[in-house]
Structure 1
């Protein structure tokens, strides 16, 4: 039975890739002093009796490097969208003009930039933990196969593959974090 052991490294790789994608999504929501529609993704608005993402209530555009606009489709939701943005903690003061909400993005000061790099590092650490947990799952399945008769040489081979995969994705996390921190600190 141990001879037919085959660890699904493709599945591990897909799951690690999802951890990287989740990290990129979280980092995109950080305000860097440059306008981005992605920074509004985590904001939910009470609309039609349930919490709804802003991008499902209007069109988000970035007409200028320091301006995001939201063209809210339902006039009755404009004030709710505006309130959700104020309460989001982004530090942006929305300005309304009919059904269009304008979000001027202010310059970040040095202290706020440093805080944001720490937040980004926290997001990266969560991604590293997720990848290490996947590594542990892979190693556990190798141990179980070892208990069922998998040879020590084969076990070492599989462990090496899982470790190489883990190292590759941890390196990706570090590269993504480094790029985001450079973007945040760029004045």
Structure 2
């Protein structure tokens, strides 16, 4: 359904537009709808690339939620945890031996790749899984949290943290393309340049709104709400 909305932007999507000070000076309440006109935007930036960049961020948020924020995430997805090391990305199972002692302890052996220890610890701490890794030499011990109310609340909080990361990423993409427009301001009228900038903002806001819905659904799932 979301993709269908995206495809209809040329003709139907409307969002709030903040008019330039010259047009609305002294009247902050006057805001009108702005139609997303991809043909107009395309004159200044690559619309397809803009949408792909925004969609990639949303897809990453959904992937992070699915892989790392479930009540079984600690024991079920640690193998596929992504670790960045010297400009490359590896899954944890590619660089470590992963075992378990009972149902409450995961053991990660990095004796074959000790130089990546710092990066593995960072990946675990930043994963949003609510884990507390403990290092002992080239081994990392990861207690698997019991599913308590506090643990559920911790994961729900992490869901908001990951959403904020996605939101900031979307803002960065928005600003990147707005900078492209500003570089071409002398090639078009000031009204068109302003209009395109506002449309780019509206596009980014649509993806952020969709990401917020995904976050709320995930939080409700983690907290056991309907």
Determine which of 130, 147, 152 is the counterpart of 2:190.
Answer: 152
Q: Distance in 2 between matches of 1:134 and 1:39?
A: 30
Aligned pair 1:135/2:155, yes or no? Answer: no
Partner secondary structure for residue 99 of structure 2: helix
Alignment of 1:19-168 (within 5 A): 19-34=57-72, 37-38=76-77, 40-42=79-81, 53-54=92-93, 80-82=97-99, 85-87=106-108, 108-146=147-185, 148-168=186-206
- Rate the CA distance shift 1:30–1:167 in 2: closer, same or farther, 3 A: same
Partner secondary structure for residue 82 of structure 1: strand
Q: Distance in 2 between matches of 1:30 and 1:22?
A: 12
Q: Distance in 2 between matches of 1:24 and 1:40?
A: 18
1:6 positional shift: 2.7
Specify which structure has the bigger relative contact order, considering alpha-carbon pairs within 8 angstroms and separated by 6 or more residues. 1
Which residue of 2 is the match for residue 7 of structure 1?
Answer: 45
Question: Structure 2: which 5+ runs fail to align?
Answer: 1-41, 84-89, 109-123, 132-143
| Conserved? CA contact 1:7–1:158, under 8 Å | no
Q: Distance in 2 between matches of 1:52 and 1:42?
A: 5
Q: Distance in 1 between matches of 2:215 and 2:192?
A: 35
Q: Distance in 2 between matches of 1:156 and 1:52?
A: 44
Aligned pair 1:17/2:17, yes or no? Answer: no
Q: Distance in 1 between matches of 2:69 and 2:52?
A: 28
1:43 positional shift: 6.6
Partner secondary structure for residue 52 of structure 2: helix
User: What number of residue pairs does the alignment pair up?
Assistant: 143
TM-score (norm 1): 0.63
Q: Distance in 2 between matches of 1:20 and 1:106?
A: 28
- What are the Cα deviations for residues 102-125 of structure 1, in whole angstroms up to 9, with x where unaligned? xxx886111111111111111111
- What are the Cα deviations for residues 113-158 of structure 1, in whole angstroms up to 9, with x where unaligned? 1111111111111100010001101111111111x33201211221
- Cα RMSD of the aligned pairs, angstroms, is 3.2
Q: Distance in 1 between matches of 2:201 and 2:91?
A: 40
TM-score (norm 2): 0.53
